[in-house]
Amino acid sequence: MLNKNVMSYNLLKGKKGIIFGALDENSIAWITALRCHEEGAEIVLTNAPVAMRMGEINKLAEKINAPVIPCDVSSDDDVTNLIDKTMEHFGGSFDFILHSIGMSVNMRKGKSYTEIDYGFNAKTLDISAISLHRILATCMKKDALKEWSSVVALTYIAAQRVFPDYNEMADAKALLESVARSFGYHYGLKKHVRINTISQSPTRTTAGSGVKGFDGFMNYAEFMSPLGNASAADCANYIVSLFSDLTKMVTMQNLFHDGGFSLTGVSHAVIEQMEK
């Protein structure tokens, strides 16, 4: 949930952008949309039609006075329609994008990593990673992003380390991070657009909670991280900073937002648990 004690600094006053993936009030995208609105941004919300039926995105839209445009990110036509309608709504180009999208078909079907269905895997990679390329390529073609715009995609450290139950999503996140780096180079040269990924702590969202053994996953990260796990609200604040003009020279980075988990080999808390 959003921390009501966080102050607003008008960091995004006059900025406009698209937020993908706000499912319900527990999602990072939902909380980020609220924070961006508080900081002065105008927003277009989007999600897959099936996710819109499952979630509560219209409640968020009312709170922040944002239109909702359905988009299947695996469809070229849908992404084109989204960018066209967003530019029509804003009266031109815009300033930021949050990619908070991920789905594992094999995990939903209960298939282990060593026995994945490759057709399902292709769908997982398309929705979870290639979608970022499709969105950015469409924006570039239509000159939809302004100079010095900012794009952020959410990822997880399983892209670098083995977390067995994270399954094919580890491969998807690795690909997502690669797309961000590669497109970050080209869009940076063309229009100073910066593109980064945030590697977030395990977070109790509707999507995250679907990972096998999630509670143990979260507790372990909490024990391992000197600052503890970063919350969804913490992540939203970090995203706001990356959308702001205070981080204009940060691009092509995978930014760990995890309370120190990524660089901690072992913690006293974990040792104590092992010695019990």
Asked whether residue 66 is assigned to any structural domain, the reply reads: yes
Residue 192 is predicted with a pLDDT of 98
pLDDT of 239 higher than 60? yes
Residue 7 is predicted with a pLDDT of 79
- 55: its two tokens: 């979630």
Distances 142 to 69, 81, 213 between C-alpha atoms, Å: 18, 11, 43
Enclosing domain of residue 253: 16-213+229-264
Asked whether residue 271 is assigned to any structural domain, the reply reads: no
The total domain count for the chain is 1
Q: Which of 88, 57, 32 is nearest to 243 (CA)?
A: 32
236 burial class (0-12, 13-18, 19+ CB within 10 angstroms)? buried
Asked whether residue 10 is assigned to any structural domain, the reply reads: no
pLDDT of 34 higher than 90? yes
Q: Which residue has the higher pLDDT, 199 or 53?
A: 199
- The string of pLDDT tens digits covering residues 104-148 is 999 999 999 999 999 999 999 999 999 999 999 999 999 999 999
Which residue, chain included where needed, has tokens 């990110």? 73
- 124: its two tokens: 């997982």
- The string of pLDDT tens digits covering residues 62-78 is 999 999 999 999 999 99
Residue 215 is predicted with a pLDDT of 85
Q: What is the CATH number of the domain that holds 95?
A: 3.40.50.720
The CA distance from 175 to 112, in Å, is 19
Percent of the chain residues past pLDDT 90, beyond the cut: 87
Which residue, chain included where needed, has tokens 């600052």? 227
Question: 228: Cβ–Cβ under 8 A, 6 or more apart, which residues?
Answer: 222, 259
pLDDT of 32 higher than 90? yes
Asked whether residue 4 is assigned to any structural domain, the reply reads: no
The answer to whether 183 touches 133, Cβ cutoff 8 Å, is: yes
- The string of pLDDT tens digits covering residues 160-197 is 999 999 999 999 999 999 999 999 999 999 999 999 99
Asked whether residue 63 is assigned to any structural domain, the reply reads: yes
The CA distance from 246 to 13, in Å, is 13
Q: Which of 88, 127, 74 is nearest to 105 (CA)?
A: 127
pLDDT of 4 higher than 60? no
pLDDT of 90 higher than 70? yes
Asked whether residue 220 is assigned to any structural domain, the reply reads: no
- The pLDDT of 73-102, averaged and rounded, is 98
Three-class SS of residue 177? Answer: helix
Residue 3 is predicted with a pLDDT of 52
The answer to whether 32 touches 61, Cβ cutoff 8 Å, is: no
DSSP 230-273: PPHHHHHHHHHHHHSGGGTT--S-EEEESTTGGG-S--HHHHHH
The answer to whether 224 touches 212, Cβ cutoff 8 Å, is: no
Q: Count how many residues are written for the chain.
A: 276
Does pTM top 0.85 for this prediction?
yes
Mean pLDDT for the chain?
Answer: 94
Task: Show contacts of 53-57: CB within 8 Å, 24+ apart.
Answer: 54/23, 55/22, 55/23, 55/24, 55/206, 56/23, 56/24, 56/25, 57/22, 57/23
